[in-house]
Amino acid sequence: MMVEFDGIVLDYSRQQATVDTVDKLYNLAEAAHLQEKIHRMFNGERINSTENRSVLHVALRAPRNAVINSDGKNVVPDVWNVLDKIKEFSERVRNGSWVGATGKPLTNVIAIGIGGSFLGPLFVHTALQTDPEASRFAKGRQLQFLANVDPIDVAKNIAGLSPETTLVVVVSKTFTTAETMLNARTLRAWISKELGPSAVAKHMVAVSTNLTLVEKFGIDPNNAFAFWDWVGGRYSVCSAVGVLPLSLQYGFSIVEKFLKGASSIDQHFSSASFEKNIPVLLGLLSVWNVSFLGYPARAILPYSQALEKFAPHIQQVSMESNGKGVSIDGVPLPFETGEIDFGEPGTNGQHSFYQLIHQGRVIPCDFIGVVKSQQPVYLEGEVVNNHDELMSNFFAQPDALAYGKTAEQLQKENVQQHLIPHKTFSGNRPSLCILLSSLDAYRIGQLLAIYEHRVAVQGFIWGINSFDQWGVELGKSLATQVRKQLNASRTKGEPVEGFNFSTTTMLTRYLE
């Protein structure tokens, strides 16, 4: 129960699944027409039926000479036009030929965006930050992300920065997201106040599918980097959403390496047999854990500090994609879909929530380890260096979960009788291990694509639409109603009206 592909080893022998179970899961995949659905995705069919869109994030990392059609048109040349434009622009900013309004180089970048326009780029940035190759290219540069509309996040982002040396990248697929647009207006005011309104042209650029709104906002369309409605927000890190800020920070060549890593998994996913296909195996096992064994959660546990933002990114990719209540045809599902994803890097998580995983609820775990650390070890002479110590835990935890510890073993160790129930570990707790040979831009791209495709496999088996997100709309429209009320109360003194008792009371208290 181990498969290998291009520097990645997946060991799923500690799942609660026998060879026979896995065979049955392959049958399930066949019954659910998994291969055909994967093919339809790569073929640019409009599989996101509720939004009438294709799902083609794989085209974002396809080689220049690839042909991937959407509505009979090869989209790869458009992808590469934008990539070429990003390469040129990021090189100009990095080499100082594109400067700010006062002639100073733009060494700081603030990327404004939220959800899919933030989490993926943050994950990749955090993972590249400590990669020696990538960080060499980032010398003297700083990349930050402004996501939350909270004034605290604004204050944290602009603290210590001067607009003179700052480039703001507004990232929003729709260019209507309330939080992002308010933050964009805030930073536009920050720039204008210090440098005058004309400076905005030099200090603000945008990434969006809605170039009309970009222009309306006051950003020169020549300084806008497009993507397309066939890229879902949470699948957009390989579009200009991630490529622009990351190229500004690390240079285009590093980002190209990242795209190549993701593309290698796309190839693997679309061509390998199910038995050897890492995303397919992961997806099937997740379906097994959620739908057959009834485990509602999944812990993502990377044993690399560089991957500290991986779980938050996958949280959105997975939970926004597969947290659905109806089938793709709109029929209520007779089973639960999606899982509650959470995680922290090891070993930090061990000192936090692993207690529950070992002796409380059963939570299938993904352990992700790296053979060669990004960083040299400080104490060279130590027999077990920092990385070995980290990896000792990576290897030990899955066995602790799988085998547990019995009362008999504890008795042999002369543990006091009254402590035996407390020190017993039931074992048979499922996990899987993913071992990466290294963690550079290429592997980071691979890891991303593995998890993206795993989520798609789960959705294909469950028969849901993993590519829409109607569940985020209701909260947004209620917030609009509250926003209107706050405005009316503040500007015209209007009383709070039209809300239930609880909200009315709380809103009134807030306005007081």
Binding site residues, ligand F6P, CB under 6 A = 114-117, 172-174, 177, 180, 233-234, 320, 469, 472
Residues ≥6 apart with Cβ < 8 Å to 431 = 14, 15, 364, 365, 366, 367, 397, 398, 401, 402
Q: Pick the catalytic residue: 156, 193, 216, 351?
A: 351
Nearest Cα residue to 345 out of 379, 370, 382: 370
Which CB sits closer to ligand F6P, 118 or 460?
A: 118
Nearest Cα residue to 338 out of 322, 317, 320, 360: 322
Q: Pick the catalytic residue: 320, 339, 344, 452?
A: 320
Coil, strand or helix at 205: strand
The structure tokens listed for 120 are 């993926």
Which CB sits closer to ligand F6P, 272 or 482?
A: 482
CB of 313 to ligand F6P, least distance (A): 11
**């080499």: which residue's tokens?**
95
The structure tokens listed for 185 are 């207006």
Which CB sits closer to ligand F6P, 231 or 287?
A: 231
The structure tokens listed for 15 are 């799942």
Which CB sits closer to ligand F6P, 111 or 457?
A: 111
Coil, strand or helix at 4: strand
Q: Report CA dihedral (439, 443, 446, 450) to the nearest 10 degrees.
A: -30
Which CB sits closer to ligand F6P, 2 or 479?
A: 479
Could you tell me if residue 279 is left (phi over 0), alpha (psi between -120 and 50 degrees) or otherwise beta?
A: alpha
CB of 116 to ligand F6P, least distance (A): 3
Coil, strand or helix at 432: strand
**């294909």: which residue's tokens?**
460
CB of 202 to ligand F6P, least distance (A): 23
Which CB sits closer to ligand F6P, 207 or 461?
A: 207
203 is an active site residue: no
> Count of alpha carbons within 13 Å of 485, Cβ hemisphere only?
18
Which CB sits closer to ligand F6P, 173 or 257?
A: 173
CB of 315 to ligand F6P, least distance (A): 12
CB of 115 to ligand F6P, least distance (A): 3
Nearest Cα residue to 473 out of 178, 96, 220: 178
CB of 176 to ligand F6P, least distance (A): 7
Q: Which residue is nearest to ligand F6P (CB)?
A: 233
Q: CA Rg, the chain, in Å?
A: 25
Contact 396, 329 (CB under 8 A): no
Alpha helices by DSSP H, 96-229: 119-129, 132-137, 151-158, 178-195, 200-203, 211-217
Give DSSP secondary structure letters for 358-392. Answer: HHSS---EEEEEESS-SS--S-TT-SS-HHHHHHH
The structure tokens listed for 379 are 């104490």
320 is an active site residue: yes
452 is an active site residue: no
CB of 105 to ligand F6P, least distance (A): 28
CB of 407 to ligand F6P, least distance (A): 49
> Count of alpha carbons within 13 Å of 404, Cβ hemisphere only?
18
Q: Pick the catalytic residue: 476, 484, 494, 497?
A: 476
Which CB sits closer to ligand F6P, 177 or 289?
A: 177
Which CB sits closer to ligand F6P, 234 or 429?
A: 234
Nearest Cα residue to 236 out of 31, 6, 79: 79
Active-site positions? 320, 351, 476
